[in-house]
Chain A
């Protein structure tokens, strides 16, 4: 992805937002996937996050600040969408096949599906930290800054989250 440095006030909002989308679309989508129930929800979250960015044009000091804004906004919107996502969906009454977008996100292997299912069973406080650590490769100090926690709190959540994942999975992936 292009390492664009986005200048907030010089260009028009649309050029600005498009550059941000290109730069961060995967990161936002990944968080949306692990924090919602299905692809349909993740798609909704993806749209809402960047629309929110576009409308609010938050003044970001630098790319790190922008990234932090996007991460926390995505987590918040994902939590809201995933608890209300069934409000407008039509639930099939007679065993019709459910729209693929309503199924949980499927991965390449069964193990990966199991990891995803286990992660979706965790409370958000653990899930978000585990996601940023394992899927975004962020160091503990950065996770702490982004989420407004102390590094100690991040480590506690990582440790406890790993322990819960171990219980659910009984795999060696989360051993210390």
Chain B
């Protein structure tokens, strides 16, 4: 794999050469090492100090034993079955602060500054104020399920709403007005991406501006350009959403003079600009809104933009008397304001002083209809029609755990409805799925035994209803996809077990089948009722072979999942493996596509998917001979043409190709 930025500027080598430890520091370390050595010898009377050093010498065993005990207590004190209402209710005690002073105490503690904090003054809020630690020998795995456990009613997704089970209502994306759209997790809930289309025009982000391209086959041409810099010189555009006649442009800009924070040169705000595109050749800026933090993700649902940003507070910036130094700011055309204490949730033991800032914005009025800030961050965000879930990292358990906050959405308002916690980490947004009132979660946890994969079913209160744990110990979760009553989990060490898990009884999820094949799938896509498409890395029984592959799985009988077809995919680099937006899906024509980087240049590959015949290469478009594209590549089909955009980070291009022949009929710079 060649890299385009070699040779690197000598400045970096010069800087690297200066970053050396001082002699005094190295000598101090050596002295410490010698002192440690003596301590070890003292603790092992009778052991010859010069002998071979056993890994399990006494101090190490102590530490391992202490860690295991902490783990048992942690898990025992965590999420617990409580469907019968009689057993103690436990969970993380997320709290709503009474005032900014309470927020200050929590943030200062998370940032590691200030005096030893007194207990945070709070008022009971949210769903779960009590926290009772059970006796240390309790292990939540061993708790028997009470006989009178109620089973959740399976809610039938109504035809009008997007499938609450997270599976695409038809194969996603749906083809309205004969064009394809962004490949999203939940049908009809749009996710922001660098390319958006309404079938007639394509809107593409290029970092400093947004290009409007008229999609007209051979007459495809650039129509206009939205210069975001006119409104904000430092704005770097990241994502787009499209709602009827409004183009939503999302970007980041340094906080700069908008705050009084002394360290403001290091902090970033997320900005949303709303442009009127009634006349697409002349987009006009209607309003701008802003919130503290780096952009994380955004969704569009029923005329509201739900935006999440990640706001870090630095210890040395905190001024107890000035909430603007430790509370996020949100601004719209009504003005700039601090998030109110009643809209803040403090999660216990956050890994950093980091907030997830979630806002709801009405696209038509340009005003915020709701905002929430959660101290505990949101590394993963998943949205269904009713709720926005945010998964953050907590250090309350050794091995790490994920805190979950459920924000209920109603008419654009947001309110914290529940919090919960599960051991382990989430892979990505696909590891969360709402089905009826339940939330299904897949995590990879690390403990003294190694890594394990677990699936949890949580109630609306984010309490544990059922679980499957310890799937494939020693392996990592590589991909997850939920489809109604079945969840598919791919784990990997050397071979790829694809687990099909029966979720129809939330209290007793069961592994129905485990298919082991070499390599692994990084992305799973339900393709009609009986099939799953997987995109991943190829392998043999000896390990990964380094190439990519498409797999077709027959899941019509989840108790006997088989791989029916597999096709090697050429190339060295396939961004679609990590970014589901990079996957092009055209349900009308049974096509799937994505870009790959090969030694001879950048290709766009389009395959036809047929459950009987497998994958057939329809097109292999060489977009950049001998070129390298480190930025995202996207394709859209509108009418009988395939439009591909690439090169946005340098000199962007949109190409128009005949869908049947793959011939390029137009190309325009953007």
In the complex, chain A residues whose CB is within 8 Å of the CB of B315: 83-87
Contact A12 B32 (CB under 8 A): no
Contact A112 B15 (CB under 8 A): yes
Q: Is B578 an interface residue (CB 8 A)?
A: yes
- A85–B631 CA distance with the chains assembled, in angstroms: 36
Which of A25, A85, A105, A155 has the most B CB atoms < 10 Å from its CB?
A155
- A164–B49 CA distance with the chains assembled, in angstroms: 52
Q: Is A9 an interface residue (CB 8 A)?
A: yes
Contact B578 A156 (CB under 8 A): yes
Q: Is B178 an interface residue (CB 8 A)?
A: no
Contact A107 B352 (CB under 8 A): no
Q: Is A60 an interface residue (CB 8 A)?
A: no
Q: Is A163 an interface residue (CB 8 A)?
A: yes
- Of B9, B32, B312, the residue contacting A47 (CB under 8 A) is B32
In the complex, chain B residues whose CB is within 8 Å of the CB of A156: 575, 578-579, 632
With A26-B21, A54-B36 as contacts: A116 and B15 at CB distance below 8 Å: yes
In the complex, chain A residues whose CB is within 8 Å of the CB of B352: 79, 83
In the complex, chain B residues whose CB is within 8 Å of the CB of A59: 55
Q: Is A6 an interface residue (CB 8 A)?
A: no
Contact A87 B12 (CB under 8 A): no
In the complex, chain B residues whose CB is within 8 Å of the CB of A13: 37, 40, 53
Contact B11 A173 (CB under 8 A): yes
Contact A135 B33 (CB under 8 A): no
In the complex, chain B residues whose CB is within 8 Å of the CB of A147: none
**Min distance, Cβ A130 to any Cβ of chain B, angstroms:** 10
The SS class assigned to the A binding surface is helix
- Of B4, B60, B266, B573, the residue contacting A121 (CB under 8 A) is B266
Contact B578 A153 (CB under 8 A): yes
**Min distance, Cβ A60 to any Cβ of chain B, angstroms:** 12
**Min distance, Cβ A141 to any Cβ of chain B, angstroms:** 7
Contact A135 B16 (CB under 8 A): yes
**Min distance, Cβ A56 to any Cβ of chain B, angstroms:** 7
> What bracket does the count of chain B residues touching chain A fall in?
35 or more
Q: Is B608 an interface residue (CB 8 A)?
A: no
**Min distance, Cβ B446 to any Cβ of chain A, angstroms:** 12
In the complex, chain B residues whose CB is within 8 Å of the CB of A46: 21, 25, 29
In the complex, chain B residues whose CB is within 8 Å of the CB of A120: 266
- A163–B206 CA distance with the chains assembled, in angstroms: 11
Name the interface residues of B1-56: CB closer than 8 Å to any CB of A.
1, 3-5, 8-9, 11-12, 14-16, 18-22, 25-26, 28-30, 32-34, 36-37, 40, 49-50, 52-53, 55
Contact B573 A155 (CB under 8 A): yes
Contact A55 B268 (CB under 8 A): no
Contact B1 A140 (CB under 8 A): yes
In the complex, chain A residues whose CB is within 8 Å of the CB of B265: 117, 121
Contact B112 A87 (CB under 8 A): yes
Contact B30 A51 (CB under 8 A): no
Name the interface residues of B235-253: CB closer than 8 Å to any CB of A.
236, 252
Q: Is A167 an interface residue (CB 8 A)?
A: yes
**Min distance, Cβ B596 to any Cβ of chain A, angstroms:** 10
**Min distance, Cβ B368 to any Cβ of chain A, angstroms:** 24
- A167–B14 CA distance with the chains assembled, in angstroms: 23
Contact A155 B649 (CB under 8 A): no
What 1/0 flags go to A97-138 for Cβ under 8 Å of B?
A: 000000001011001100111001101000000000011110
Name the interface residues of A128-176: CB closer than 8 Å to any CB of B.
134-137, 139-141, 150-153, 155-156, 158-159, 163-164, 166-168, 173, 176
- A108–B25 CA distance with the chains assembled, in angstroms: 21
- A29–B22 CA distance with the chains assembled, in angstroms: 10
In the complex, chain A residues whose CB is within 8 Å of the CB of B193: none
Q: Is B165 an interface residue (CB 8 A)?
A: no
Which residues of A are at the interface with B, using a C-beta cutoff of 8 A? 9-10, 12-14, 16-18, 21, 25-26, 29-30, 33-34, 37, 42-43, 46-47, 50-51, 54-57, 59, 79, 83-87, 105, 107-108, 111-112, 115-117, 120-121, 123, 134-137, 139-141, 150-153, 155-156, 158-159, 163-164, 166-168, 173, 176
A/B interface sample: 21 pairs, CB < 8 A:
A13-B37, A14-B37, A17-B33, A18-B30, A21-B33, A25-B21, A30-B16, A54-B33, A87-B112, A107-B18, A112-B18, A120-B266, A121-B268, A135-B12, A135-B16, A152-B574, A155-B575, A156-B575, A156-B578, A159-B630, A159-B631
